[in-house]
Structure 1
Amino acid sequence: MRKTTLLLVAGAALALAGCVSNPNSPANNAAVRTIGGAAAGAVIADATGGSKTQGALIGAVAGVGSCYIPGTAGCTN
């Protein structure tokens, strides 16, 4: 169950963080991706019976990590 939760949180955070298609968009920065990932992680962890705090932390790390995925637009400052 714990591994499934981790995979769901990481996948959802990366999917949500990758929704920004315009590289010059104000939403395309590390802060927004981190907050979005944390929110998605907490919601998914709560829905699957996991710790919301742990889900938020994992989601935040996945959100900011999405700035550094090769082949994507990356994040603006």
Structure 2
Amino acid sequence: MRVIVKPALAATLLALAACGNSFEEQALIGAGAGAATAAVLDESVAAGALVGAAGNVAYCNAYPSQCR
């Protein structure tokens, strides 16, 4: 059961990203989603936050209509 729950929860947490009206909001929301996903997957929370923040900001710059 644990093996199935982790990927599903990770996917749900990743879906929370790509929100925010400003650069700061996008970075903060991405960092939160990345940190939460890393915690669920028993990985480095700091690295997850960094990757999540960078990924969310990059996504919102590439697809601004999806982030407003």
When the two structures are superposed, what TM-score results if normalisation uses the length of structure 2? 0.66
Query: What is the CA RMSD across the aligned residues, in angstroms?
Result: 2.8
Deviations 1:1-36 (A, max 9, x none): xxxxxxx68x816x521x5xxxxxxx4111101000
Give me the whole-angstrom Cα distance separating, in 1, the residues matched to 2:67 and 2:43.
Answer: 29
Residues matched between the structures, number: 58
Provide structure 1 residue ranges, at least 5 long, that are not aligned to the other structure.
1-7, 20-26
1:29 and 2:31 are equivalent in the alignment: no
Local SS of the residue matching 1:49: coil
When the two structures are superposed, what TM-score results if normalisation uses the length of structure 1? 0.59
Give me the whole-angstrom Cα distance separating, in 1, the residues matched to 2:50 and 2:43.
Answer: 12
CA contact (8 A) 1:30 1:75 kept: no
Provide structure 2 residue ranges, at least 5 long, that are not aligned to the other structure.
1-9
